[in-house]
Structure 1
Amino acid sequence: MSIDVAETEQGYVLCVGLSLEACGEVARLVKDQAVVVAAADTDGARALLASDRPRHGAPEPRGEVARPPTLTLIQRGPLRVDLAVREVSIAGRLLHLSQREFDLLAALASEIERVWSFAELTSRVWNTGYLGAPDVVTSAVKRLRKRLEPGTGLEIASVRGIGYRLMVPA
């Protein structure tokens, strides 16, 4: 990748739809020659460009970000999440999950029926700032929903435009 920026002016590099890791790589390549601005999509880029000046650094998640629980075992109805050994079981049957699926379910189970925003889940599960595109979270939720066995009463409910919450039978 070759980036030329005039030495008399500090330029901007606009990264649209890239992960924060990719934006960080661009920032490393341009060093002091330009400010790197990250936007989730073209609408976000237009909003950033229309503002007085772009924000520097990683975007801050909207709202307060929940911190990981200090407990090591979460029991919610038939769901058991053992954080110490990273195992999940439903009604005694072990459920095999990927790292992200486990972290997502652990976050949702830590406070059942609480609505978790896309920004909170992105920060907690992916350890990165939220850029306004919920696709990564939505895809992970779809995969996790497929793994949850029907008939257990466990449901990951969508809260349109906000995020998700875990519903557990009483």
Structure 2
Amino acid sequence: MSGEDDSTAPVVTEYVSLQEVVDELLARSTVQLAPTVPAPAATIGPSILRPTFTKQGLQRQYDFNTQILNLLNPIVEAAPEEFQIKASLLKAATLLTQRNELLTVADKDPAVWQSFDHYSQAESFEATNPFLANYLRKRKTDEKKVQERPNWKRPHPYGARDQPFRSGGATWALAPPVNLQLSSLL
């Protein structure tokens, strides 16, 4: 039995040393393969990549986010891994990039804001109250199914007749002969 303990001790030591090597290699690979924040469209060059906005407020917000991303890019590269500083900076840069994408879509389709609000509200309750988050997601899908009925409208504003006058004839139509009217009375 003591022979088995001696043989397992070096294996454990080898395992620990291999684990340290694997951890170091993983750390290096994550640094090299870490998702880099794409350079903002303003610094890339061609104006084709930079979106044009129809709403000036969205353009200002996009420019502000781009400036913040320009400041974060060199800091992210030089940030230490300690205390998750680099991960936090990468998360901030990712959020700003996602926000810029949202602004680009929202400029063309303002209805995306309502969908984004429902999604973010459900996500905020996910950690604290999963039941409420599930309810909000379900309500959102139910709202899509139940469409608002249009108000009832007359098919034609003056009834089903396509004739211009209720009597069915024009006012300039000829009157029946006088003797015909008298004979019907007698």
TM-score by length of 2: 0.18
Greater Rg over alpha carbons, structure: 2
Identify the structure with the greater strand proportion.
1
TM-score by length of 1: 0.20
Identify the structure with the greater helix proportion.
2
